[in-house]
Amino acid sequence: MIALENVSKTYGNHVALAPLTLHFPARQTTALIGESGSGKSTLLRLLLGLIVPDSGTALFDGVALDHSNRDEIRHRVGYVIQDGGLFPHLTAEANVTLLARHLRRDPEWVGGRVAALAELVHLSLATLRHYPRQLSGGQRQRVGLMRALMLDPDVLLLDEPLGALDPVTRFGLQQELKTIFATLGKTVVLVTHDVGEAAYFSDSLVLLRGGKVVQQGSVDDFLERPADPYVTQFVRAQRGLPPETAH
């Protein structure tokens, strides 16, 4: 479905991505994990053509992403960032329907799609009439997801989608997102630094370090067949609750 072939990206002296090749299996959820600055977000942006690689290509359905087909491919990819990335001057609904209206989709179809998506993400149509600043963090994220799903894309890219939320909201949304991904059957690539979240959502994980892939595989592979001591170190870095308060 989507893949990166030999892509590299350097900012001045800083190597953001060493030449790497990655294939993201269709209709599966892949989590990109790693520390801050490991190249996760750079990788996601390359898939959308938001940054141009120094070498190599991003492929979409076997077609190389370039200047001429960029916008067309973006219409088939939903992109969600931390806190939704909503445009503050537009109501939630206008955010969701912006692209569809620009592409002059049938208003009736747009209305039906908004209603269906609102139900999917558990938002009322009244809430959608508000501006982003009038919504809670969780609501904004749901609207961001609606906007990404509006044109029923084949691919969904999420960059730390739950990173700005409080733990309770986050916990609830994790469950909902997992259901949504399972229902829709889309190719999903998710960036997170939370191993637990990655394991909960994903069919496979990709661990990045210093712009290189350390290991790609299932959670079991990571736990039982670590490719490198760093894999174990990264997975164990997740702090559980102290035993005495767990009772």
Region for residue 210 given its phi and psi (left: phi exceeds 0; alpha: psi -120 to 50; beta: otherwise): left
Please, which residues have CB within 8 angstroms of residue 201's CB and are 6 or more apart in sequence? 29, 31, 174, 177, 178, 181, 188, 190
Q: How many residues bind another protein (CB under 8 A)?
A: 29
Told to check if 91 binds another protein by CB under 8 A, we report yes
Residue 73 in tokens: 């491919």
Told to check if 106 binds another protein by CB under 8 A, we report no
Instruction: Supply φ then ψ for residue 106, to 5 degrees.
Output: -55, 125
Residue 89 or 247: the one with the smaller Cβ distance to another protein is: 89
Interface residue with another protein among 86, 128, 188, 231 (CB under 8 A) is 86
Interface residue with another protein among 16, 32, 46, 81 (CB under 8 A) is 81
Q: Which of residues 178-197 bind another protein (CB under 8 A)?
A: none
CA 210/CA 196 separation, integer angstroms:
21
Interface residue with another protein among 87, 109, 171, 230 (CB under 8 A) is 87
Residue 78 in tokens: 């939903």
Region for residue 65 given its phi and psi (left: phi exceeds 0; alpha: psi -120 to 50; beta: otherwise): beta
Helix, strand, or coil (residue 238): coil
Residue 50 or 182: the one with the smaller Cβ distance to another protein is: 50
Segment lying near another protein (by CB under 8 A), choices 95-103, 196-204, 212-220, 224-232: 95-103
Interface residue with another protein among 82, 97, 174, 215 (CB under 8 A) is 82
Alpha helices in the chain, H assignment, sequence order: 40-48, 70-74, 92-102, 107-120, 137-149, 167-184, 195-201, 219-224, 229-236, 243-246
- Closest distance of CB 70 from another protein, Å: 8
Residue 87 or 230: the one with the smaller Cβ distance to another protein is: 87
Q: Which of residues 21-80 bind another protein (CB under 8 A)?
A: 45, 48, 50, 70-75, 77, 79
Q: Which of residues 123-162 bind another protein (CB under 8 A)?
A: 131-133, 147
Q: Which residues bind another protein (CB under 8 A)?
A: 45, 48, 50, 70-75, 77, 79, 81-91, 98-99, 102, 131-133, 147
